[in-house]
Amino acid sequence: MAERWEYRVVYVDPRGRISCEGVEFVRQSGENRTAFLKRYLDTLGEESWEVTGVHPLVRMEASYVILKRPKQAAS
């Protein structure tokens, strides 16, 4: 049987906000953008999510980050 995947799409904007599935995360005061994104991705990595792609939105200086992980078997 072929492996099945589940996906998550994360929106990252240049003002220091991340939005995922209706939940918004805001950068802490003084935290730079890359450290903020790394901290968020590290948290998802602990949940077995893996970045599979980045889709930049050039005019908005924002991007979508696409992640996947193996789908859990239904019990």
* Beta strand ranges found along 1-75 (DSSP E): 5-13, 17-20, 23-26, 50-57, 62-70
* 35: helix, strand or coil: helix
Residues 18-57 pLDDT 10s: 999 999 999 988 999 899 999 999 999 999 999 999 999 9
In whole angstroms, give the CA distance from residue 22 to residue 44: 16
Give the pLDDT mean for 52-67: 93
Distance CA(45)–CA(48), nearest Å, equals 5
Q: Confidence band (pLDDT; 50, 70, 90) for 68?
A: very high
The SS3 of residue 5 is: strand
pLDDT of residue 5: 96
* pLDDT over threshold 60, residue 14: yes
pLDDT of residue 4: 93
